[in-house]
């Protein structure tokens, strides 16, 4: 599947993003979760998404046009421990504004490193998404790093943790950028939704 990815712009705020005339899918997760690698794997391009780099650096919403028909947004990674409280506040506002106000946002993929036990910051973020009725899916990244038994165990463990507060689990994907695993599942999921929405855009 050739997505013909094109970089559109880096937007400092939700309302600087391109005109909302195409379905949009966002990717978010803690820094180092493997977000850039996953986006590059989906796009089949080496350096489309760039690693966020130093904490505290200007954080932007990077928008890409895919298949000339939908937008992929690369949201800044959250969870930098070292940025100041004020900066963190501004940064959170930028993300929450984007997630609550962007009218064409169809689904957000929340990335989770499959090797790390459930973290408060991710659980709270998903809780917030649920409270605000923002549709999201989970993507467990870097699955090449653990055995399939360990992966099953990690997924069960996450499920157990989430079911303390959720009535049902969101859609779950697993991926490996190095192993090129999960690409078609994610792209088919997006294509299916785009097909259903084709009269709306
Ligand atoms: P980001 O900060 O979330 O954009 O994360 P990156 O994509 O820059 O990845 C962080 C680190 O994890 C890098 O050293 C990557 O090479 C590594 N990484 C990312 N995805 C995978 C994966 O699927 N498998 C393995 N083994 N390493 C990965």
The Å distance, Cα 74 to ligand 1 centre, comes to: 15
Q: Is residue 201 part of a domain?
A: no
How far is residue 55 CA from its own chain's centroid?
Answer: 19
Residue 54 predicted with pLDDT over 60: no
Residue 107 host element (H or E): strand 105-113
Residue 52 predicted with pLDDT over 60: no
CATH number at 186 reads: 3.40.50.300
Contact 93, 136 (CB under 8 A): no
This prediction has a pTM of: 0.95
Nearest protein CA to atom 19 of ligand 1, as residue: 34
Q: State the total domains in the chain.
A: 1
Nearest protein CA to atom 5 of ligand 1, as residue: 34
The token duo for 168 is: 């049902």
Cα–Cα dist 125/29, whole Å = 9
Collapsing DSSP states into helix, strand and coil, what is residue 40?
helix
The pLDDT value recorded for residue 82 is 61
> Domain range holding 82?
6-196
- Residue to mutate, 34, 48, 147, 175, ligand 1, most ligand atoms under 8 Å from C-beta: 34
Location of structure tokens 């870097």? 142
Collapsing DSSP states into helix, strand and coil, what is residue 20?
coil
The Å distance, Cα 103 to ligand 1 centre, comes to: 30
The pLDDT value recorded for residue 57 is 56
The token duo for 121 is: 């910051």
End-to-end CA distance of the chain: 22
The Å distance, Cα 53 to ligand 1 centre, comes to: 12
The pLDDT value recorded for residue 103 is 97
Question: Where residue 58 falls among pLDDT bands split at 50, 70, 90?
Answer: low
The Å distance, Cα 146 to ligand 1 centre, comes to: 14
Cα–Cα dist 189/165, whole Å = 26
Nearest protein CA to atom 15 of ligand 1, as residue: 34
Residue 155 host element (H or E): helix 148-162
Cα–Cα dist 36/6, whole Å = 15
Location of structure tokens 């970089």? 7
| Pocket of ligand 1 from Cβ distances under 6 Å | 29, 31-37, 51-52, 77, 141-142, 144-145, 176-178
Q: Is residue 140 part of a domain?
A: yes
Location of structure tokens 């549709």? 135
Q: Is residue 1 part of a domain?
A: no
Nearest protein CA to atom 6 of ligand 1, as residue: 34
Task: For 168, list phi and psi in degrees, rounded to 5.
Answer: -145, 160
Location of structure tokens 């709306």? 200
Cα distances (Å, whole numbers) of residue 29 to 149, 191, 195, 197 = 24, 22, 27, 26
pLDDT digits (tens, 9 = 90+) for 117-167: 999 999 999 999 999 999 999 999 999 999 999 999 999 999 999 999 999
Location of structure tokens 């259903």? 196
Q: Which residue has the higher pLDDT, 125 or 89?
A: 125
Cα–Cα dist 58/60, whole Å = 6
């Amino acid at each position: 599947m050739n997505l013909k990815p094109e970089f559109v712009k880096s937007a400092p705020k939700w309302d600087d993003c391109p005109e909302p005339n195409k379905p949009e899918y966002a990717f978010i997760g803690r820094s180092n979760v493997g977000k850039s690698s996953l986006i590059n794997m989906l796009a089949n391009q080496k350096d489309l998404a760039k690693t966020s780099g130093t904490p505290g650096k200007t954080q932007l919403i990077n928008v890409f046009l895919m298949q000339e028909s939908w937008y992929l947004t690369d949201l800044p990674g959250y969870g930098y421990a070292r940025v100041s409280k004020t900066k963190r506040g501004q940064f959170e506002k930028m993300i929450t504004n984007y997630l609550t106000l962007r009218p064409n946002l169809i689904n957000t993929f929340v990335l989770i490193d499959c090797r790390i036990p459930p973290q408060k910051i991710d659980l709270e973020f998903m809780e917030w998404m649920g409270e605000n009725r923002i549709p999201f899916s989970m993507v467990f990244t870097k699955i090449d790093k653990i055995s399939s038994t360990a992966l099953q165990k990690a997924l069960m463990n996450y499920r157990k943790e989430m079911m303390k507060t959720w009535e049902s689990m969101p859609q779950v994907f697993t991926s490996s950028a190095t192993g090129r695993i999960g690409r078609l599942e994610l792209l088919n999921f997006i294509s299916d939704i785009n097909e259903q929405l084709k009269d709306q855009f």
